[in-house]
Structure 1
């Protein structure tokens, strides 16, 4: 039980950053050794600060919990989902090409967009959110976990820059 708690994010129930850091290095090593594809997705809730400022942190927490449930319902059992920090969630998709990860990311984006993530108790106002996703795969250029994370982050930045509620796949 202690081991489980040490690798789990208390709010979302997802794996935590410590677990992610360990697993990404393991997955990169496996991928390189056996020449298997490996893709990383970085997911960010659009305008999350506005949600917290408008509805309060309790609603913000509910949004993160619901988002986590949605992600877990869409990804495969073999995928590794972890809370990266704040409202960012990272998904490691072993043995997955960048193209297939892009399809998965788009399916996830659409499901989140269509889902009611919270309801304000006093007003019955429905809270819906959108997400932006940056996708990157190991390649001849992206050869280690640092580059994979950095390039996924750059793709996420472009998704936000170009209007949010979108998936951007790295060219590398």
Structure 2
């Protein structure tokens, strides 16, 4: 019974393909970090990470290969995170990496490292995969979790529009 309870609990908070946290958990953790900032001035950052040209991977190599890319990217990110960082799969090929107690400068360093690691990994047919990343830090203007997440998402789309394989953030 205990084992079944643990299984059900894990499945309710994580993505079944990758094991990363799911969208439901994202809302909880973003709200917690946003509250920490507004009540105690503890900064945190979000990295919105999107695998570039993912549809082409699925179209060329098939959905199983696409799943292997998603799993590989998840494992790569998780293996280079701190214990307090949290990875969420929020869409097909979109992820949010929450960096609690982190300022933008340090988040940019993390994003650069991850972008390079993703590009140098070979998940399918010895081809390079790239990612576009948007960064948002807690601030007084981003006064709730939804605005904070939207800011990171907007910067990720800015990275895509600027040519992909980029990192964008407030200057």
Q: For the superposition of Structure 1 and Structure 2, which TM-score range results when normalised by the shorter chain?
A: over 0.9
**Residue ranges of structure 1 left out of the alignment (5+ in a row):** 119-124
Cα separation, 2, equivalents of 1:136 and 1:113:
22
What's the CA shift string for 1:136-163, capped at 9, x where partnerless? 1111322211111111111001100111
SS of the aligned residue for 1:42 comes to: strand
SS of the aligned residue for 1:31 comes to: helix
| Corresponding position: 1:32 with 2:73 | no
Cα offset, 1:64, TM superposition = 0.2
**Residue ranges of structure 2 left out of the alignment (5+ in a row):** 1-5
Contact 1:152 1:170 in 2 (8 A): no
Give the CA RMSD over aligned residues.
1.0
What's the CA shift string for 1:74-101, capped at 9, x where partnerless? 1211011110111100011111001110
* Higher fraction of helix: 2
- Aligned residue number for residue 135 of structure 2: 135
| Corresponding position: 1:12 with 2:18 | yes
Cα separation, 2, equivalents of 1:77 and 1:128:
28
What's the CA shift string for 1:47-97, capped at 9, x where partnerless? 000100111100000000000001001121101111011110001111100
With structure 2 as the length reference, what TM-score do the two structures score? 0.93
Q: How many residues align?
A: 165
- Aligned residue number for residue 78 of structure 1: 84
SS of the aligned residue for 1:76 comes to: coil
| Corresponding position: 1:109 with 2:115 | yes
Contact 1:134 1:156 in 2 (8 A): yes
